[in-house]
Structure 1
Amino acid sequence: MSQSPSTTPSAHWLADIDSLDREDLIERVRAMAAELDLLHGRERLWLGRHALIDDLTRLGNRRDFVRQLDTLFSQNQRNDLPVSLILLDIVQYINHHGPSAEDRVLRAFGDCLRETLRGMDMSFRIAEHEFAVILPDTPVNGASAVADKLRLAAAYFLVEDAEATTRFDVSVGVDAFRVEDEDADAVVQRAYEALDESRAAQADWGDRQPG
């Protein structure tokens, strides 16, 4: 498990303190203060980075998702470059295989996103079983193609400790920034509406399957 950097001064600062005269002591204290400032700065940076990461999947968390989407929305307002959003839900798979498999499945799905997406794309775990993908410089038709690619990649994957590769379906909602959007929440709301339609369609399909 990762740990925050230590803020304890080096032992050599105190080793010969009794032998120092006043000027040397002042210089030693100043140097110690400078080292502590550096260490505290590194710790703040470490804490800031880890506050934006989901501990289980190592993807960005919801806080990071909101931050990145707001930033891209502001850029979109200035340069009109397309930005698309994909929301994904794997709760039906979790429900089917039970809570004992939940963490393994979530980690594996995070790995699937990392391995399938481009380097410029950003992936996040934004709720218990929900993930988001932000696609910069990608129109909505391109995002739909990426969503299909993710469905295919996730259709068969190896869950840690599983005896065989496991098949499951992912509910997906896709949308993109529009000229009339007043803020980034607009695209999130539309993507959730599309995700709800996908969930309903999969639930209906599951109900019609033979037991």
Structure 2
Amino acid sequence: MSARVLIVDDIITNVKLLEAKLSAEYFGVVTALNGLEALAICERGEADIVLLDVMMPGMNGFEVCRRLKSEATTAHIPVVMVTALDQPSDRLQGLDAGADDFLTKPLDDTALFARVRSLVRLKSMTDELRNRALASRRLGIADPLAAAALETGLNGRILLVEDRPSVTERLQSALSAFHSVEVEPDPHQALVRAVEGEFDSVLVSLDLKGHDGLRLCSQLRSLERTRNISVLMMGETEDRARILRGLEIGAHDFLIRPIDRNELLARVRTQVRRKRFTEKLRDSVQSSMEMAVMDQLTGLHNRRFMDSRMAVMFDESALRARSLAMLVLDVDHFKVVNDSWGHDAGDEVLREFADRVRACTRGIDLVARMGGEEVVVVLPDTTLDAAYAVAERIRERVEMEPFAIHNNSNAIPVTVSIGVASRRAGDVSSAEMMKRADDAVYRAKASGRNRVIVANAA
């Protein structure tokens, strides 16, 4: 997988060496000799991953990483700290700054390339979500990236898959201070629990008795219900080849035994934060999609969706010679409600009206707010007589009980006039059917309201 790798190091020979290695693996390479230059490149969106040296004059790598991870526009960019520092405290400082990994010089090329490819793959999974989430700003949704960047990575739900009691006790004790931890020694049951639960992260021992831990990692990454859970491997130093293979099949991170408590907490927190970051983007995209097709007041589909969907339903009905009917509903004297009780009361009436209409229709029916107090219901595989029966059921349900307003402090009677029409053999579009239903509802209004009128027969 090709990607743009930003190399940040104040020593030009180090930059050139890494640039040559990565270029030979077909990565695009961007370089920076100091932290400020690196920040500017990332803010312009010119890097997919950052290989960041720690010891630099002016602004060290820890500070650069901290700034990248604190900004909404750059928090999603993976950062790998590359340095000669090899003490656990140094690695922990990098992870606390938000780094996704910490590689020690001299670099193992195989490990470097595997880590870069793994992190780039994870980033590519969120890029499309980011783009769509940013587009949601035009719909008035609060900045999704800013909200996602505030995620702390604490109070996660963790599933620990380990069959050695002494190891389990030590890891659970460390994690429980900041997360909710569940333990499952059996890998088969672990997969079931992961599917059924709402876990943020799964820690998998590669040394499970009688079972290949990588198999579980692969299953977690392939199943739809667990695909978005972060997966951390735990292995021995001699498991290096298997760990690299785990990164290739989609595991997110790894820990080498003996596991340092602080590194465990830092890596788990990073993975929980990343998982929730992606979830917030996904929720933002879902919200923007709903806003594009839903009426925000009533929760019904909006006019835009109705027009496109109704055309499809009409064409399918004509192609298969199946019946199709339509109801146009207009709340009676709605202006009086607004004038007498206020627009807040009018909104309450419309929401309750929408609920009552929904209760009388099927899942396959299209129910949409056309505008104001008008609602359209399109009924596939429904004859004119059956549509009339549905309309009467809606009319009765609206009339039978007063509508609560002003937070249930008052209640007012509401009625509805309904026009009914069906597709005719000579219709060339749904507009003709809607015109007949519209005419019928006007006749219902003129005839005294609170009634159902069927469009004139052809």
Q: Which bracket does the TM-score occupy, shorter chain normalised?
A: 0.7 to 0.9
The DSSP-based 3-state class of the residue aligned with 1:202 is coil
Pairing 1:123–2:367 present: yes
Q: Which moved more, 1:64-73 or 1:154-163?
A: 154-163
Counterpart for residue 83 of structure 1: 324
Distance 1:9 1:38, change over 3 A: farther
Question: After the TM superposition, which residues 188-203 of structure 1 pair with which residues of structure 2 at under 5 Å, given as runs?
Answer: 188-202=434-448
* Distance (whole Å) between structure 2 residues aligned to residue 55 and residue 84 of structure 1: 26
Instruction: Indicate if the aligned counterparts of 1:125 and 1:132 stay in contact, CA closer than 8 A.
Output: yes
In structure 1, the gaps of 5 or more residues are: 1-6, 204-211
Question: Structure 1 length normalisation: TM-score?
Answer: 0.80
The DSSP-based 3-state class of the residue aligned with 1:118 is coil
* Distance (whole Å) between structure 2 residues aligned to residue 62 and residue 77 of structure 1: 22
> CA-to-partner distance for each residue in 1:126-151, whole Å, 9 max, x for gaps?
11110111111111111111111111
* Distance (whole Å) between structure 2 residues aligned to residue 53 and residue 103 of structure 1: 16
In structure 2, the gaps of 5 or more residues are: 1-71, 80-97, 133-281, 450-458
Instruction: Indicate if the aligned counterparts of 2:330 and 2:418 stay in contact, CA closer than 8 A.
Output: yes
The DSSP-based 3-state class of the residue aligned with 1:51 is helix
The DSSP-based 3-state class of the residue aligned with 1:81 is coil
Instruction: Indicate if the aligned counterparts of 1:90 and 1:129 stay in contact, CA closer than 8 A.
Output: yes
Tell me which amino acid in the other structure corresponds to 2:119.
R
* Distance (whole Å) between structure 1 residues aligned to residue 415 and residue 122 of structure 2: 59
Instruction: Indicate if the aligned counterparts of 1:9 and 1:36 stay in contact, CA closer than 8 A.
Output: no
Tell me which amino acid in the other structure corresponds to 1:35.
T
* Distance (whole Å) between structure 2 residues aligned to residue 181 and residue 198 of structure 1: 23
Question: After the TM superposition, which residues 74-113 of structure 1 pair with which residues of structure 2 at under 5 Å, given as runs?
Answer: 74-96=315-337, 98=339, 99-100=342-343, 101-113=345-357
Instruction: Indicate if the aligned counterparts of 2:310 and 2:430 stay in contact, CA closer than 8 A.
Output: yes
Tell me which amino acid in the other structure corresponds to 2:336.
N
Pairing 1:170–2:422 present: no
Counterpart for residue 63 of structure 1: 304
Distance 1:119 1:25, change over 3 A: closer
The DSSP-based 3-state class of the residue aligned with 2:327 is strand
Per residue, is there more strand in 1 or in 2? 2
Instruction: Indicate if the aligned counterparts of 1:173 and 1:192 stay in contact, CA closer than 8 A.
Output: yes
Pairing 1:16–2:99 present: yes
Distance 1:158 1:112, change over 3 A: same
* Distance (whole Å) between structure 2 residues aligned to residue 9 and residue 142 of structure 1: 57
Counterpart for residue 89 of structure 2: none
Q: Which moved more, 1:36-45 or 1:131-140?
A: 36-45
Bigger radius of gyration, 1 or 2? 2
Segments ≥4 residues shifted beyond 6 Å: 7-12
> CA-to-partner distance for each residue in 1:187-208, whole Å, 9 max, x for gaps?
01111111111122227xxxxx
Tell me which amino acid in the other structure corresponds to 2:431.
D
Question: Structure 2 length normalisation: TM-score?
Answer: 0.39
> CA-to-partner distance for each residue in 1:59-115, whole Å, 9 max, x for gaps?
011111112210111101211111100001115144246333211111110111112
**Cα root mean square deviation, aligned:** 2.7
* Distance (whole Å) between structure 2 residues aligned to residue 167 and residue 189 of structure 1: 29
Aligned residues: 197
Higher RCO (CA < 8 A, seq sep 6+): 1
* Distance (whole Å) between structure 1 residues aligned to residue 295 and residue 76 of structure 2: 35
